[in-house]
Amino acid sequence: MKYGAATIFAVLGWIMLVVQPLGGHASTGGFEMASEDPGMAEVAEAVPAFGGVFIDGGVLKIWLTGNASESAAVRVRSALTNHVSDEFQDMPVQALAADYTYADLARWSDQLIDIRDAVPGVVSLGVSQRHNRVEVGVSDVSAGREALDNELARLAIPRGAVRLIEQSPVHQLPIDNSPSPWWLAVGIAVAGLAIGAVTMRRKRSVRT
């Protein structure tokens, strides 16, 4: 039986090696960067009423809290041109009345860093510039709504500032050509039998 244990260890070692790339990765100290979009953060700093921006039919639609005037939207456009990209400079603008500023939404989004622990099936989290809300994507809305409401109450985040949507889980997109589990099973069986055969042979030769 002492060789049986060796076989088990060999097989376990094999499984560990094969499965290793699918598991976790070594963590490092990382680097400190804000989780908000840096370009948009600069625009929010230049125009505090800024609530987000999106393109619709060639028009730059700009969310603004307070007085959502055309002139304020033009100010945002020039801030976007200065801090984000020059491709905005000739685009027509339209001001939209926002409920929240981008800075507040980004801050609330950052506060929800632990949301996975509170809400089941979280797929995505971030500021939705199309909706002027923090958006939480979950795989099952009905299972997540109550948990989210509790979490928002705990963090004192306005319930109306967060939009809960149903989203399909996200996966990476390589083509996996790895052998099927059936092949792995055969490989493990062959390896185990080969080791067993060798050990039996040795035992016999020792006896004789």
Partner 1 sequence: MNIPKLWARFGWRQRLCAALLSAATASLSLQFVAVTPGVADAADSATVGKSKSGMGPRAIPEIAQYLRVNDAVPEFGGAYIDGDTTHLWLTNPTEEAGRSASAALVKFVSKDFDRAATSLQQARFTYSQLEVWNEQLLDVRQAVETLVHIGVSQRHNRIWIGATGAAAQRDDLMEYLDDRGIPRDAVLLTESSPVRMASSLLDEHRPVLGGLQIDFQTGFGGFFTDTCTLGMVGVNLSVSGFITNSHCSRTPGVADDGRYWQPTRPVFDTGWIGHETIDPAYFSGSPCPPGRVCRYSDANFVTLDNAGRDQGRIAKANLNSTVWPGAKYRITKKDGNVTPGLFIAKVGRTTGRTQGRVLETCQRFDVIGTNITLLCQNSTDLRSAGGDSGSPIFNVTELPEFNDVTLRGILWGGAEDGSFSVFSSIFRVQTEIGTTKLCGPAFNC
Residue 69 CB, shortest distance to partner 1, in Å, is 21
Q: Residues near 37 by Cβ (< 8 Å), separated by ≥ 6? A: 106, 127
The answer to whether the beta carbons of residues 184 and 22 sit under 8 Å apart is no
Q: Which residue's CB is nearer to partner 1, number 20 or number 205?
A: 20
- 93 φψ region: left (φ > 0), alpha (ψ -120 to 50), beta (else): beta
Residue 12 CB, shortest distance to partner 1, in Å, is 13
Tokens 């809290």, residue?
A: 65
Q: Which residue's CB is nearer to partner 1, number 58 or number 159?
A: 58
- Which positions lie near partner 1, rule CB under 8 A? 14, 17-18, 20-31, 33-37, 39-40, 53-56, 61, 84-85, 87-88, 110, 113-117, 122-130, 135, 137, 167-179, 186, 189-190, 193-194, 196-197, 200
The answer to whether the beta carbons of residues 204 and 31 sit under 8 Å apart is no
Residue 144 CB, shortest distance to partner 1, in Å, is 13
Q: Which residue's CB is nearer to partner 1, number 48 or number 179?
A: 179
* Tokens describing residue 5: 């244990």
